[in-house]
Structure 1
């Protein structure tokens, strides 16, 4: 079982609940906690630099803002920065977020290992998730394994992400096509790009480019 765990959670009750479960139910005793992403990152760097790296990160996605200025304000930013230094660290997200598309993004883009939605059965699910991740499994939540929800999920490939990024920077479809041709990225034809962009609008139910960019940023895709 994991022997060294970092918990990033800004709510004291939830934080202590996670630590209690890890300690008393799973038998993990070397646990450090942080209520801010920056604090969690500093504790991670200190342990890593001391060659006593954490084996598992359990983090929320949303953190409350207060008077303390933070460089990292979300669990997504924390995960990205930690994985730049320690790519093999195991990551479990423990959050109220239940939108399949955002959860799927965390697995696809950040390569997290497990996800638990806060709720009535969250503690039991967290215990199962920790055990499964330790065994090398990818622990998907019900929000992704439920067939009716999985069928409505939006799957984006590299070209979709390039289009979204370029649109978010204010480039027109004509300018994007020119960039794709210059970088020899295909397909880059007018019809292909028009169809791709139209599908993005349809998939995200966006009214215009500004609305589309706002939606994907809210989902954490940009």
Structure 2
């Protein structure tokens, strides 16, 4: 079982609930907690520098604002920054978010190891999730497994992500095409880009580029 865990959760009740599960149900006692992503990251960096790395990160997705200016304001940003230093740390997201598309994005883009939705079955599901992740399994929640949306989820490739990121920065399709040609990224024809963007519009049910950018930002894709 894991012996050192970092918990990032800003609600005291949820925070203490996770720690109680780790202590009493899983016999894990080397736990550090943080109520803000920046604090969690600092604790992670210190442990990494001391060569006493955390084996598991359990984090929420959203954190309430505080009077202090925060560099990292979401669990996604925390995951990205921690994984950039310690790529193989196990990550479990513990959140109220139950949208299958957003949960699936976390597995596909950020390669999280497990997800638990807060709710009536959260204690049981968190224990199962931690055990499964420790065994090397990818632990998807029932909300994703049982969703009819799962089989319809779009598989975004590198070009799709480039298009979304460029659109999010305000570039037009014509400007993107020029950039792709300069970078020798293909396909880069006008028709190919039009087809790609139209496919993204259809999948995300976006009315225009602005609407598409708003949707993918909400999902954490860009």
* Alignment correspondent of 1:32: 32
Query: 1:147 deviation in Å?
Result: 4.9
- Give the distance between the partners of 1:73 and 1:147, measured in 2 at CA: 29
- Change beyond 3 A, Cα 1:219–1:147: closer
* Alignment correspondent of 2:42: 42
- Give the distance between the partners of 1:210 and 1:174, measured in 2 at CA: 16
Alignment of 1:21-100 (within 5 A): 21-100=21-100
Q: Deviations over 1:3-50 (max 9, x none)?
A: 000100000000000000010001101111110111111111111111
- Give the distance between the partners of 2:152 and 2:96, measured in 1 at CA: 20
In structure 1, stretches of 5+ residues that fail to align are none
Alignment of 1:174-189 (within 5 A): 174-189=174-189
What secondary structure sits across from 2:6 in the alignment? strand
- Give the distance between the partners of 1:171 and 1:90, measured in 2 at CA: 36
Give the RMSD, CA atoms, in angstroms.
Answer: 1.1
Runs of 4+ in 1 over 2 A off after TM superposition: 151-155
- Give the distance between the partners of 1:16 and 1:107, measured in 2 at CA: 26
Contact 1:102 1:219 in 2 (8 A): yes
Query: 1:152 deviation in Å?
Result: 3.2
What secondary structure sits across from 1:151 in the alignment? helix
Q: TM-score, normalised by structure 1?
A: 0.96
Q: TM-score, normalised by structure 2?
A: 0.96
- Give the distance between the partners of 2:152 and 2:128, measured in 1 at CA: 26
Query: 1:149 deviation in Å?
Result: 2.4
Q: Deviations over 1:126-184 (max 9, x none)?
A: 00000000001111112321251212323211111111111112222122112222222
- Determine whether 1:134 maps to 2:134: yes
- Give the distance between the partners of 2:147 and 2:107, measured in 1 at CA: 17
- Give the distance between the partners of 1:173 and 1:72, measured in 2 at CA: 31
Contact 2:100 2:147 in 1 (8 A): no
- Give the distance between the partners of 2:132 and 2:27, measured in 1 at CA: 15
Contact 2:101 2:150 in 1 (8 A): no
In structure 2, stretches of 5+ residues that fail to align are none
Moved more, 104-113 or 89-98: 104-113
* Alignment correspondent of 2:9: 9
